[in-house]
Structure 1
Amino acid sequence: MAVPRRRPPLLIRPVREPATVPPPLDGPWAPTDDRLDRADLLPLPDGGHGPEDVLIDPEGRAVSGDEQGRLWWWPADAPAGTRPTLLAETGGRPLGIEVDPVDGGLLVCDAYRGLLRVTPDGVVRELTGSGEVHLADNATVARDGTVYFTDSSDRFPLSHWKRDLLEHRPNGRVLAYDRRTGRTEVVTSGLYFPNGVALTPDESALMLVETATHRLLRVDLPEGRATVLADLPAYPDNVSAVGDGTYWIALPSPRLPSVEKLLPHPRVRQLVALLPGAVQPQPRRYGLVALVDGAGRVLRTLHGPSGAYPMITGVRQHGQQLWLGSLTAACVARVDLS
């Protein structure tokens, strides 16, 4: 059964900020590798779309969700065009997906139900409810089973994420779920649409991105002190750890000059937020992912200038393959890194 959707506030409460200027895609960000335009595509069935994140589970299955609240899986070695098998239905909107270290099941951030646990045979159980979590987005799991996850906005549901970005207030936070006690604690708050999150190898900190401010942060644990590592030339989404101290960042769109010019004009932004979605500023159709180290230095970027696989929100390395998810596409994608 579908979960009731929270109604968003009608008006945003924008604040005046200095205008920013998007940097060009040059230097380490130059589009010299355009392999994302030649990715293998594995479709969702039955009109499904929006496989926001993708994960390879211990059984060698590529798992992703869709906007209809379903979780699907493909064999990791499936040829392009392979249709998936249904794993579970959350009744909400699955976003970030991680492996549960307890039994190899899944921990799922559901935008409308909070943090969920899905057993290997597809049984869904709530770990946190929608009453204590507003917009569960992306997660990372410590070796002791603690789940760190982003709660992107306490004002706007996923269906109105653009309003949160236009409001440009620190409405988000990072939470920690302790499975031993069942309690959820705040790690840090006052964040601008916090999105992707990943633990460092020694678990002393989180690598975190803010979509609204296009920043890469390091959040020290347990005190929650945040340090800005980089200002990115695109809006970031999910983050995944490779395991060697490097991290992939999915970047659904290069930054939009028209949006950043509006920052000093809160009343104009308030009016823009009331416009139909089709006439609001649109993300640019451009594929982009980046590999960074623990200091935020860019090691590698992959591009899709034609946007053949658009609005990349999830990225995960499995061997010499990179799996991609999207907020809008009707398929997951896979590219060879070698």
Structure 2
Amino acid sequence: MPRRWIVPRRWRPPAARDTGPTGAFVVARRLATGGHGPEDVMFDVSGAVVTGTGDGRLLRLGPAGSRMVVADTGGRPLGVQPCPDGSVLVCDHDRGLLRVTADGTVEVLVDTVDGAPLTFASNVVQGADGTIWFTTSTTRWDLEHHLGDMFEHTCTGRLIRRDPDGTVTTLLHDLKFANGLVLVPDGSLLFAETAGYRIRRHCPDGRVEPFVENLPGFPDNMSLGSDGLLWVAIAAPRNPLLDRLLPLPGLLRLLAWNLPAALRPKATPIAWVMAFTLDGHLVHDLRTTDGSYGFVTSVAEHAGTVIAGSLTATDVAVLDIPAQPAS
């Protein structure tokens, strides 16, 4: 059951702006998972798709439709990061940060942070020296009731580092539902704040800089493509009613949260991905509301193939990308 009492924190969102799509989100074909909710999708070094499903399975999907179960994490896998040695790092909502070896052995790398159990680990990357960085979205809500975090806006997301010797350090606190995470060639980290409608950069010297601000939707998982672009899943457009409520006294949000679910502000059905250069220039903004796919929570590109995953779909979508990106 969701919490009946949210703890609202006032926030004045930037005025919404939207230049509109540059092209259509077109599903060319699908890769069946045999399950539900491929929340994050990534390519491994062989070109296979790695994803996790709601029943705890970690999968490898071949381009021709083959499907192999790598392991059962015993929890709910979210963010995945295939490693060059064939292992996969997994942010498991229930169990923490895991490493799954090529033979399917599941190892718990981090299950407590700052003296408390690690919950809602969201996305993960690894450096060449074995350093691991990962995000946690919220310390107050679970996946099923994650919208509670959007309503109260208490900002309990984190960016965390695990050193090769196992030392765990929280680098950033108070993030607005920290989510997608990408390590870029200059050594900095790009991280999405879903509830802040933005992507920021954590520099190697510890500085935090804007990357893209005031997005027209909720950014989710991200990945760096072989095309050099930052691909960003947009789970839903911003909700005008929620934007109006966030700066107002919290009682109004508390009342809205306790309405029947059918009457609360809700996400507009859409399938949506964006892609940016590493200097923040928009290249792709692909959307559809035709119902062919929806609630896109991840996107990845490899050798010209773009795939999308969803918390609510059963299959991974392979997209038909416009030949001429926007200038």
Q: Same fold (TM over 0.5)?
A: yes
Match of 2:134 in 1: 149
* 8 Å CA contact 1:313, 1:326 repeated in 2: yes
User: For 1:250-295, what per-residue CA distance to the aligned partner results, in whole angstroms no more than 9, with x for missing partners?
Assistant: 0011111121111133112112223444443221111111111223
Match of 2:32 in 1: 43
Match of 1:314 in 2: 298
In structure 2, the CA distance between the partners of 1:8 and 1:284, relative to structure 1 (3 Å rule), is: closer
Per the TM alignment, residue 244 of structure 1 is displaced from its structure 2 partner at its CA by: 6.1
User: For 1:35-69, what per-residue CA distance to the aligned partner results, in whole angstroms no more than 9, with x for missing partners?
Assistant: x2333112232xx2110011222233212111111
Q: How far, CA to CA, are the matches of 2:51 and 2:262 in structure 1?
A: 27
Match of 1:56 in 2: 43
* 8 Å CA contact 1:57, 1:99 repeated in 2: yes
Match of 2:54 in 1: 67
Match of 1:182 in 2: 166
Letter in 1 for 2:6: I
In structure 2, the CA distance between the partners of 1:83 and 1:304, relative to structure 1 (3 Å rule), is: farther
* 8 Å CA contact 1:187, 1:224 repeated in 2: no
Q: How far, CA to CA, are the matches of 1:289 and 1:88 in structure 2?
A: 29
SS in 1 for 2:257: helix
Q: How far, CA to CA, are the matches of 2:293 and 2:154 in structure 1?
A: 30
Q: How far, CA to CA, are the matches of 1:221 and 1:157 in structure 2?
A: 31
Match of 1:17 in 2: 11
Per the TM alignment, residue 147 of structure 1 is displaced from its structure 2 partner at its CA by: 1.1
Per the TM alignment, residue 126 of structure 1 is displaced from its structure 2 partner at its CA by: 0.6
Per the TM alignment, residue 111 of structure 1 is displaced from its structure 2 partner at its CA by: 1.0
Q: How far, CA to CA, are the matches of 1:295 and 1:269 in structure 2?
A: 36
| Structure 2: gaps spanning 5 or more residues | none
Letter in 2 for 1:90: T
Per the TM alignment, residue 224 of structure 1 is displaced from its structure 2 partner at its CA by: 4.8
Q: How far, CA to CA, are the matches of 1:236 and 1:57 in structure 2?
A: 23
Pairs within 5 Å for 1:108-187 = 108-129=90-111, 131-178=116-163, 180-187=164-171
SS in 2 for 1:91: coil
User: For 1:130-161, what per-residue CA distance to the aligned partner results, in whole angstroms no more than 9, with x for missing partners?
Assistant: 54422100112111111111111111122221
| Structure 1: gaps spanning 5 or more residues | 1-6
In structure 2, the CA distance between the partners of 1:150 and 1:224, relative to structure 1 (3 Å rule), is: farther
In structure 2, the CA distance between the partners of 1:116 and 1:72, relative to structure 1 (3 Å rule), is: same
Q: How far, CA to CA, are the matches of 1:250 and 1:257 in structure 2?
A: 20
SS in 1 for 2:241: helix
TM-score (norm. length: structure 1)? 0.88
In structure 2, the CA distance between the partners of 1:9 and 1:185, relative to structure 1 (3 Å rule), is: farther
In structure 2, the CA distance between the partners of 1:68 and 1:280, relative to structure 1 (3 Å rule), is: farther
Match of 1:252 in 2: 235
CA root-mean-square deviation: 2.0
User: For 1:156-183, what per-residue CA distance to the aligned partner results, in whole angstroms no more than 9, with x for missing partners?
Assistant: 12222100111112211100111x2112
Q: How far, CA to CA, are the matches of 2:50 and 2:150 in structure 1?
A: 29
Q: How far, CA to CA, are the matches of 1:207 and 1:132 in structure 2?
A: 25
* 8 Å CA contact 1:8, 1:155 repeated in 2: no
Letter in 2 for 1:129: D
Q: How far, CA to CA, are the matches of 1:23 and 1:191 in structure 2?
A: 22
